[in-house]
Structure 1
């Protein structure tokens, strides 16, 4: 009877443990590498997404009160927006590439998009005839003097467009910066599945880089990890939009540290930081995570409590920023409300979140910058748009008793907009536990304090 009771007790304990493991796994799934499809399939995917984007341009023109949108560019002097509208197999504009969108085609003319690839006067004759037929009052051009996504028409091309259209039509040219911004910023629904896969792959690369498979304390440097990530990106047939940055965190903020290039050797007890992103299928990710290097024989329970509390505080700041990202508010309004709530909860830190998608720092409103925590001129005054991706990027300060100093805890995760629920959600997840670098057998031992 006693044996049966012991057996039952052991079985119940095992089932309870299994349940906890399963729950833990569902809450924090292990990231896996997501291979990209063959190039032909990638092109088909991208062209499908581009067609979706092209179909919404007329509604964007109407929203911002323009009747037409004109772009003109030449090979290697492309308009910034060209890269968001081109076919997947186009690597540059050809000859002179002219694109015209109409908000409302005339009855019987179903097309809202016309394009020419030509280097003869015929392009100007046909363009002028089409504009005279539709008689638009306002023709938007990308000639803003502040926003890169809305200022892509080169000065020489702009002068030629004015000359060829003639005084009357040229007088209808207007700059409406939000047209180009919203077209580039809008992420069509079909992209999300693959964007999640890109984000999971970025997590998987960080997880492997921040592991004992790559890092040997006392020998591996931060620069070694940066180049390991670059090589891993190539092995997976991905690319990136910036060189990875790996640092050993300490009391001094990263922004005050000297430029990278100094190779710091990683040791036991170090708190590591990475800023990393991958590029594929015309999309970009941006992630910042932290890792702790365990001493030999240590487990997760040995992480200094001050570090754990710092990470938790940064997670709370993420929640604050995400909850204040209300559609239609400007980035500066969101920054102000986020910092006010942050400080009311006794948190000090910085918020510097940005749109992401077609570009790493993509079109849309900025929510702070590292050196601008009051407001961001121009870009901070743009409204927050729905159906975009954002990098919630920030740092929270926390006093760490174990080192008797205040440290900055850096996090960055990408979010997407859920229209039906009117809220933002993490693309794949967010870091709530440190990556851990364990020690391999025989790598060393922790030196105990004398006395």
Structure 2
């Protein structure tokens, strides 16, 4: 195992170095090919090993001596999916994992048993007797999904098999699972950038005259084109792409989705889109404008340009208020206060992302909860994690005589050296353009933070 970990680490270092130095920062988004599956497995397992090595520190942080998980095939604990190897597709038999915060010298801090006999319990009891933990965390929280993955039947089995002595030491500490899943090691970032660039590239092509013929192509056509493109690139996704023609109605209400009608000249298009690969998920919302024949980018109504700019400003407000250790509810309150002080109206509903599309960590608002989010909004904001800054700003567009909704979403990461957040790939500051057939195609360049 030690030799394999060293090999994985060396492979990861080589691959990380090659990606970190690849490509200029001012190029248009390009499709990023994934490595062969065998190489992907090496990468994923090396990253997983780094994350697992941090578990004793997490347990110590939250005052827990041991962390125990048990699951059967197809009835996995939620955390299992962030602990498994790349070639594991489910738990087998009964899969039990035990982690220790302060293992004595010469004793392992991580154990895994795959067994369907009583021997697994005698082995666990032997470790517990030797290490004598004062507390044993189980994933039995009642509110947080990432910390409540222990199935009821397995809970009853664990309590019965541990016996009175050890079952009395069982505790629930939800932040253990939240922090383990939410913490991203630095070597993951170059791969995440590749995923994000690919997402941008798919959106950029999908929102262009290569795919859309005004008067003919429907929003549903574009959605399925995106699904097909994801599959062609050997990526997957965690939700169906959603393409809408925007008007003056809230997307969370009714009347904004025109699935059966064709896209027309002058339409403002919106997409909610994500890709999945290497155990990571992205989440992006962008806007496009369909140019009339004879129009160029300079003909986009100024009111629409100002609306996008306002939404960009709200993104920056949210990002600047994301203080490590603050609760999501505090961040929401401060961001909304600043938003209103600058004369901006809108909603903020940002969330952690990574192993899951809606991943482990505090929530900064929800579309239907702008005062506070109970429980999940009370969690502290972690560093070394990824977030989707998801929101909308409203803006009056004189050319349409309407107040329109400008929806944006971009993924950010924590820059430990600068103690700040930054965009994983970029921030949309220009509309994607669907140009008239035969016009010279433009490129949407990635805009980096200074």
> Structure 1 CA distance, aligned partners of 2:339 and 2:74?
45
Q: Which residue of 1 aligns with 2:371?
A: 374
Moved more, 25-34 or 285-294: 25-34
Q: CA 1:54 to 1:346, structure 2 compared with 1: closer, same or farther past 3 Å?
A: same
Q: Which residue of 2 aligns with 1:74?
A: 72
- Answering whether residue 250 of structure 2 is matched by residue 271 of structure 1, we say no
- Answering whether residue 335 of structure 2 is matched by residue 338 of structure 1, we say yes
For the aligned residue pairs, the C-alpha RMSD in angstroms reads 1.3
1:205-244 to 2 correspondences below 5 Å: 205-244=202-241
> Structure 1 CA distance, aligned partners of 2:356 and 2:97?
21
- TM, length-normalised to structure 2: 0.91
- Answering whether residue 120 of structure 2 is matched by residue 123 of structure 1, we say yes
Moved more, 262-271 or 307-316: 262-271
User: Which deviations, in whole Å up to 9, do the C-alpha atoms of 1:228-286 show, x marking residues without a partner?
Assistant: 00000000000000000000000011111269683231000000000000000000000
> Structure 2 CA distance, aligned partners of 1:106 and 1:255?
54
Q: Which residue of 2 aligns with 1:92?
A: 90
Match of 1:178 among 156, 175, 191: 175
Q: Which residue of 2 aligns with 1:383?
A: 380
Q: Which residue of 2 aligns with 1:58?
A: 56
1:399-438 to 2 correspondences below 5 Å: 399-438=396-435
Match of 2:32 among 17, 31, 34: 34
Q: Which residue of 2 aligns with 1:107?
A: 105
Q: Highest Rg: 1 or 2?
A: 1
Q: Tell me, what secondary structure is at the counterpart of 2:252?
A: helix
Q: CA 1:367 to 1:304, structure 2 compared with 1: closer, same or farther past 3 Å?
A: same
1:438-449 to 2 correspondences below 5 Å: 438-441=435-438
Q: Which residue of 2 aligns with 1:4?
A: none
Q: CA 1:338 to 1:318, structure 2 compared with 1: closer, same or farther past 3 Å?
A: same
Moved more, 26-35 or 407-416: 26-35
Q: Is the 8 A contact 1:282 1:358 kept in 2?
A: yes
- Answering whether residue 220 of structure 2 is matched by residue 245 of structure 1, we say no
Q: Is the 8 A contact 1:78 1:152 kept in 2?
A: yes
Q: CA 1:274 to 1:71, structure 2 compared with 1: closer, same or farther past 3 Å?
A: same
1:136-151 to 2 correspondences below 5 Å: 136-151=133-148
> Structure 1 CA distance, aligned partners of 2:145 and 2:398?
45
> Structure 2 CA distance, aligned partners of 1:189 and 1:98?
28
- TM, length-normalised to structure 1: 0.91
User: Which deviations, in whole Å up to 9, do the C-alpha atoms of 1:151-181 show, x marking residues without a partner?
Assistant: 0000000010000000110010000000000
Q: Which residue of 2 aligns with 1:22?
A: none
Q: Is the 8 A contact 1:330 1:384 kept in 2?
A: yes
Q: Tell me, what secondary structure is at the counterpart of 1:256?
A: coil
Q: Which residue of 1 aligns with 2:6?
A: none
Q: Is the 8 A contact 1:354 1:391 kept in 2?
A: yes
> Structure 2 CA distance, aligned partners of 1:305 and 1:261?
24
Q: Is the 8 A contact 2:361 2:382 kept in 1?
A: yes
> Structure 2 CA distance, aligned partners of 1:125 and 1:250?
64
> Structure 2 CA distance, aligned partners of 1:28 and 1:225?
27
**Unpaired segments of 5 or more residues in structure 2?**
1-22, 440-450
> Structure 1 CA distance, aligned partners of 2:320 and 2:270?
25
Q: CA 1:295 to 1:258, structure 2 compared with 1: closer, same or farther past 3 Å?
A: closer
Match of 1:361 among 354, 358, 363: 358
Q: Which residue of 2 aligns with 1:323?
A: 320
Q: Is the 8 A contact 1:283 1:357 kept in 2?
A: yes
**Unpaired segments of 5 or more residues in structure 1?**
1-24, 443-451
User: Which deviations, in whole Å up to 9, do the C-alpha atoms of 1:342-365 show, x marking residues without a partner?
Assistant: 000000000000000000000000
- Answering whether residue 277 of structure 2 is matched by residue 280 of structure 1, we say yes
